[in-house]
Amino acid sequence: MEMDRVQSIASLSKSDNTIPSQFIRSSDEQPAATTVHGVVLEVPVIDIGGDSIDEIKIVESITEASKDWGMFQVVNHGIPNEVISKLQKVGREFFELPKEEKELIAKTPQSGIEGYGTNLQKEIDGKKGWVDHLFHKIWPSNVVTYDFWPNNPPEYREATEEYGRKLREVSDKLVKWLSLGLGLEEQQLKVAMGGDDTVFLLKINYYPPCPRPDLALGVVAHTDMSALTILVPNEIQGLQVFRDEHWYDVKYIPNALIIHIGDQIEILSNGKYKAVFHRTTVTKENTRMSWPVFLEPPAEHEIGPIPNLVNEQSPPKYKNKKYKDYAYCKLNKIPQ
């Protein structure tokens, strides 16, 4: 079935002051009415590099941020700026291709989550987010199929694989520090997430300019069902976090990586770390893009509170469940 892409709707409605009704959020979601204006939130920014890193301090900062915010930004992460710029360039060039070329790698009923697409979650009220996306796995190699990687631009694969290699170095460190922060062995959290079989799923979000950014949302409010998400946005503001019952803009820091604690780490940690509730807004003039990589347990892997973190004072707060069953319920809005 041919889908209406948001990018096509946006280019047709450029000079309008209206958007189709399925993009107009209910009044309790509309960003103009629900954002705390004039406040850009200082999500913890953690320096994880440099010549003399103080690992104890890093573990402390990451642990505190993961408990309190479920989110932090990291700088000095060791991924060269050029590697991030190339990832962003090839992704942008893909979305700037003619529609027919992008549709060559569109999602199919058989492709699961992978491919070029528009709607992700089943939205109960039939509403849509002002965003198109591309999903494909980047690691481990036995789950990567290049069917959903763009052939055009030709440098897409090299640039994306290079980012993936560098990203894995960072994610290994982050997961190790998160593990230590729970009082576990260095590798314990990684193993509980799926070890070397943990799937790295790249998503590219493309949020075209929107005639009514006051009424529409990009990605609607959610927590990530992944274990951990590592994201780079372009320079256009758009990420918001829910804190103290209000929505706030998250400050954009050039070349920082944004880290979200996802549902699976919340569960593994028996609620000590919190999955962050977030959403995105869009703008009238600019295209925003973002590149989250979701670190997901393999489909058959069972996730539940790590036994060392459960005791009489801290009974299990979550059920044990295979990741594929968790994902099915989440995507279909069925209680877990």
Ligand X SMILES: O=C(O)CCC(=O)C(=O)O
Catalytic (active-site) positions = 203, 222, 224, 278
Is there binding between residue 236 and ligand X (CB under 6 A)?
no
Instruction: Draw the binding track, 257-296, toward ligand X (x: CB under 6 A; -: no contact).
Output: ---------------------x-x---------x-x----
Between residue 74 and residue 103, which ones bind ligand X under the rule CB under 6 A? none
Q: Give the per-residue contact string, 184-223, with ligand X (x = CB under 6 A; - = no).
A: -------------------x-x-------------x----
The residues with which 229 forms a beta bridge, in sequence order, are 260, 294
* Least distance to ligand X, CB of residue 307, Å: 30
Task: Name the one range near ligand X by CB under 6 A: 1-9, 152-160, 230-238, 295-303.
Answer: 230-238
Sheet holding 71-75, edge to edge: 45-47, 71-75, 257-261, 228-233, 288-296, 199-207, 132-139, 115-117
Closest approach of ligand X to the CB of residue 243, in Å: 16
d(CA 213, CA 222) in angstroms, rounded, equals 19
Count other C-beta atoms under 10 Å from residue 243's C-beta.
Answer: 19
Residues binding ligand X: what is the number (CB under 6 A)? 12
| Out of 70, 181, 208, 233, the residue judged to bind ligand X by CB under 6 A | 233
Residue with the closest Cβ to ligand X?
A: 290
Contact 323, 299 (CB under 8 A): yes
Q: Per rule CB under 6 A, is residue 239 in the interface with ligand X? A: yes
Closest-CA residue to 130 (of 238, 52, 252, 264): 238
CA–CA separation, 91 vs 27, rounded Å? 33
CB-based contact 275:262 (threshold 8 Å): yes
User: Least distance in Å: CB of 5 to ligand X?
Assistant: 16
| Residue 139 near residue 196 (C-beta atoms within 8 A) | no
- 136 binds ligand X, rule: CB under 6 A: no
Residue 254: exposure state from Cβ atoms within 10 A (0-12, 13-18, ≥19): exposed
226 contributes a contact to ligand X by CB under 6 A: no
Would you tell me which residues interact with ligand X (CB under 6 A)? 203, 205, 219, 224, 231, 233, 238-239, 278, 280, 290, 292
